[in-house]
Structure formats: C-alpha cells, structure tokens
Copies of this chain bind each other. A is one copy, B any other.
Amino acid sequence: MLDSNANIEATQQVRDLGEQGLLQRLQRFCPEDIVGDDGALLSVSEAHLLVVTSDTLVDGVHFSLGMASPGIHTTSAYDAGWRAAAANLSDLAAMGAAPLGITVGLGLPGDLPVACVEELYQGMASCLKPFNTPIVGGDVCRSPVISLNITALGQVLPHQAIRRSTAQPGDRILITGVHGASRAGLELLLHPEQGQSLQQCDRDYLVCAHQRPTPRLDVIPLLHTVALETHPWTGMDSSDGLADAVLQICRASHVGAEIDLRQIPQIAGTADWISASQALEWALYGGEDFELVLCLPPAIAQALLELIPGGAIVGTITVEPIVVLQDSAGRLPNQVLSLDRGFQHFE
C-alpha cells in the first residue's frame, strides 16, 4: 500500500492539485507569518534604500528541464531553481545590498509532475538558506512552457549602494574570482565525452560552477571594512561575462578601461583540455560566473584583494572611452572590445 501511495505521489501532476492546492503545497518553503494575503509584508530598516531586481528564465532558453527541449538535460529542476535564486542574489550583491527576500512567479504546464515543482523550490530554498533569505510570495499559473520569474528585494544604505555609473579614471578593476568556469562546466555537461584529461575533482568543480553558482554577497561586508564612504562604490556582477561587465560600467560611467589579460585568473587544471585562448574567450565572454567586478581607488582595491583569496586586479579605468585588452607579456596584440560581442539573447 505504501509503495502504491508513493507512486501516486510521484506521478501527481500540477493539474491534479489546481492553483490553490499547489500554492498550499509550496507554502512550506515560505515563512508562515508572511504568506496568506494579497501581498507579503516586509520591514526595511530605517534609512536604508530598497533594492529591487527581477529575472525571468524560460525552459529551453535559460535551462533545460527536458520539457521544451527533449534530448538536452543539462539542468535538473533543483539546479534550475538554485541558479535562478543565485542570479538574483548576485544582482543584490552587485548593488551592495543585503537580501530581504524573493518572490517567485511560476508558469507551469498542467502535466508537469508536482515533484518537479517542489524540486525547483527546494533548489531555490537551498541556495537562499546560507543568506537567511526567505521566499516571501509569488504565484503559479498555467503556461505551455515552464517559466520562472524571480524578483529579489534587498536593502542598502544610500552611500553604500554600488552603481555602474561612478567609475573614475585611475580606479583599479577588481574581480572577486575565476571567470569562465561556468562556461567550461556547461561544455562538459553538453559534451560529456570532452575533458577526459581532467581530474574528477576539477571536473566536479567546473560542473558545480555552472549548476550551483554562489552569489558573492560575502564580499559586501568586506567592502564595508576597507572602502571610504567619500568615494563612490562602482561595480556590477559578471552574469553576462567579464567583458560585458567592464563594457557596461564604462558605458554608464563615460570612461574606458585597460584590461591586462595576464592578470585574469586561469581556471585550474584545464591546460590539457582547452587552449589558453579558449580559456580566455570563456573568461571574457562565457558569462554566468556571478562574480563581482568592482572599480575602486588603488589602495582600497589592494586592501579588498587581500581579503578575497580568489580575487584579482585585472585592469585600470581610463579617460578614453574604449576598452582595450592588453597582453602585458606581449604575446598578443591589443584588442579593442565592442559591446556587440555581448550576448544577444534574441538572436
């Protein structure tokens, strides 16, 4: 009898529960005192600004639960949930904010197993847990494709908000970790026959970088300990790639940048698998590393770097509004980056 019940449970579909039933099932992922009304109530601490950021992910485009794209299964529901939550917390980190909560809007086909929706929520909840961030609401609705919208809310003191538009010539460009690892992990998931030369631990690290990225909220309190309140805090996250982040900051700040390619940290253990230029391509354009790219006066950048083991200072903000990639070892000619190389998701 138990087995038979378990089977019924395992094959239960979204339409069997209906909207209300599904919402009730999902409420265990939310704090009890917050849900149940037309909206959630949250406290924002005195003097803080509210930070809001929103992301929509669609099955077959941003993740592959196999419904929209049978044959490609690079992402479990758990991983899709994790990555969606991580991407939004990363946006809060990019603003210098402490998270308050997220809302979740789900579009679901009626024949989707309920277990899959719960797994999605479990992935979000697991990513949020270390940051004490609750799921404070949301809704579910019927849709021919699975879609997931997350809106993340955070708070920041006005002078501690990180903006894109305040980079100043002379600022050092600090990145908080390795770039390209997520892209490499995706390659291994799409083509498991690749990277036979990799050690298992390196392979696991790359796949994990893609499936379970960690938002760099840990950097914000470190920044508070070293940064001057009188100097603007500039930066964003590298969700669309390191090159894109530098370009976006330069465009918003009306400045340029020189990047020293030799200073960009290499992904460990991949030298036998991919060429140095492939690694650099992924580091610059791969995206989804969810590190922070910060522009800070030299002394502050150096002080922060000492608190962030995997970080690096990769360049300098310049007056001339172009982004130049330089190989200080002189192996490669200078390149000038253009915004056109950023992702164009509709193409």
* B143 A346 Cβ-Cβ under 8 A: no
Q: How many residues of A contact B (CB 8 A)?
A: 80
Cβ-defined partner of A37 (8 Å) among B106, B142, B164? B164
Query: A41-78: which residues lie under 8 A (CB-CB) from chain B?
Result: 41-44, 46, 48-58, 60-62, 68
- Copies of the protein in its oligomer: 2
Given A19-B344, A20-B344; A56-B95 close (CB under 8 Å): no
Contacts of A37 in B (CB 8 A): 94-95, 162-165, 236
Q: Which candidate, A131-139, A194-202, A267-275, is the interface stretch facing chain B?
A: A131-139
Question: A193 within 8 Å of B by Cβ?
Answer: no
* A56 B105 Cβ-Cβ under 8 A: yes
Question: A91 within 8 Å of B by Cβ?
Answer: yes
Q: Which candidate, A119-127, A146-154, A180-188, A300-308, is the interface stretch facing chain B?
A: A146-154
Kindly state the separation between the CA atoms of A45 and B92 in the bound complex, as whole angstroms: 21
* A151 B54 Cβ-Cβ under 8 A: yes
Quick one: closest B residue to A236, CB to CB?
B38
Question: A18 within 8 Å of B by Cβ?
Answer: yes
Question: A107 within 8 Å of B by Cβ?
Answer: yes
* B107 A15 Cβ-Cβ under 8 A: no
Given A345-B18, A346-B15; A39-B149 close (CB under 8 Å): no
Contacts of A62 in B (CB 8 A): 141
Cβ-defined partner of A39 (8 Å) among B57, B95, B165, B345? B95
Query: A1-53: which residues lie under 8 A (CB-CB) from chain B?
Result: 14-15, 17-20, 22, 36-44, 46, 48-53
Contacts of A61 in B (CB 8 A): 141-143
Question: A315 within 8 Å of B by Cβ?
Answer: no
Kindly state the separation between the CA atoms of A294 and B14 in the bound complex, as whole angstroms: 32
* B141 A41 Cβ-Cβ under 8 A: no
Kindly state the separation between the CA atoms of A162 and B41 in the bound complex, as whole angstroms: 11
* A20 B50 Cβ-Cβ under 8 A: no
* B58 A142 Cβ-Cβ under 8 A: yes
In the assembled complex, the CB of A9 is this many whole angstroms from the nearest CB of chain B, namely 17
* B144 A68 Cβ-Cβ under 8 A: yes
Quick one: closest B residue to A161, CB to CB?
B41
* B149 A54 Cβ-Cβ under 8 A: yes
Contacts of A20 in B (CB 8 A): 339, 342, 344
Contacts of A53 in B (CB 8 A): 38-40, 103, 137
Chain A interface (Cβ < 8 Å from any Cβ of B): 14-15, 17-20, 22, 36-44, 46, 48-58, 60-62, 68, 90-92, 94-95, 97, 100-101, 103-108, 110, 136-145, 147, 149, 151-154, 156, 158, 161-165, 236-237, 252, 339, 342-347
8 closest Cβ contacts across the A-B interface? Answer: A39-B53, A149-B149, A38-B94, A56-B105, A18-B344, A151-B151, A15-B346, A54-B103
